[in-house]
Amino acid sequence: MKEKYFWVAIVVVVIAWIGNYTYLKSQQLDKPIILSHYYELEQADRTDIRIFYLTNKNHQALQRAQINGMDAYWRDDQGFSMYDQPIQPQVVQEFRHHYLKSAVLEVAGDMLPLKKGSGDIWSTNELSPTFIDSGQTVQLKPTELGMVSIIAGYPNKQAFLLTGNSGNNRTYVTKEALKPVVIDEINLPFKEQLKEHMNIKVDLNQNQVYQSSWNRISWNEVPGKELKEVTFPIHLKKRDNMSVYVQLDDQLKSYVHLSLKLKGKTTDGDQFITPVSIYSHPYFTQKDIDEIISDKGRGR
């Protein structure tokens, strides 16, 4: 009788082990998942693009990548990179079965079809990275990463003296005109993708939001008009102030690093584009990760 109970217990343990193994296997990604990014970066001799991705916990390293058909190489957070050599990415968050990781992708400035200072823009929405996963080299097919744009400089940034504060999901900047200027428009890159997640106000009444209270007040308490209600052109005299306030909502599950652009001219006829930097790095919950995996199909 005791022997019978012993074998019953063994069978139960084996069934439980198979069940646990099957469940854990079902939770693994077939391939790493590249998250959504909306970046607009200024061209440099070496343009750094920080990429965030979701991977199984046994994933080891990144090796190289192609972005819009160009070779690019990964760099770790210590600043080290070697041609075609794997690097260990940074773990940003840990979840039940996965890691959220990040690494910097280097794009050489001379590989871009851009002339410095021209204001031209190069864009891509795909990345094809190569991973070292469990000792195997895995190259992903071109994978959607959101949208990354690199701009070849801005003409005449010195139309304003800037002060302000930029934190995760919220930005404000006050601009004091260094000379009389006319602002013809305020442009937002990726407007169609971000319009449901971003609020922008412009204040011309010399109000001031103090840095100590900026992250505590509600959006309704922020002074100014919504951007869509602002009448252009805006005329500023020398030493006039204009404040711009930006808020991204918490439902945006994308990485954002871009600039609003104030476009206009001085009374001398010089054109200018003045950027207002905006960034957001979301903090994910396990529920968020489950939804991302469900939406993207486990990397298949």
What is the rounded distance in angstroms from the CA atom of residue 256 to the CA atom of residue 147? 10
Mean pLDDT (the chain) is: 80
* C-alpha distances in Å from residue 216, one per residue of 155, 206, 243, 249, 277: 35, 20, 18, 15, 20
Q: What is the pLDDT averaged over residues 269-276? A: 84
- 8-33 pLDDT, tens digit per residue, is 556 555 554 554 444 455 557 888 89
Q: What is the pLDDT averaged over residues 134-159? A: 78
What integer pLDDT is reported at residue 58 of this predicted model? 77
Identify the structural domains of the chain with CATH numbers, from first to last.
33-152 (2.60.40), 160-280 (2.60.40)
Residue 25 class from Cβ within 10 Å (0-12 exposed, 13-18 middle, 19+ buried)?
Answer: exposed
Nearest to 73 by CA among 269, 229, 97, 65: 65
What is the rounded distance in angstroms from the CA atom of residue 47 to the CA atom of residue 150? 8
What integer pLDDT is reported at residue 210 of this predicted model? 65
Give the predicted TM-score (pTM) of the model: 0.83
What integer pLDDT is reported at residue 19 of this predicted model? 47
- Given a cut of 90, is residue 57 above it in pLDDT? no
What integer pLDDT is reported at residue 100 of this predicted model? 94
- 149-169 pLDDT, tens digit per residue, is 988 876 665 677 667 766 668
What integer pLDDT is reported at residue 36 of this predicted model? 93
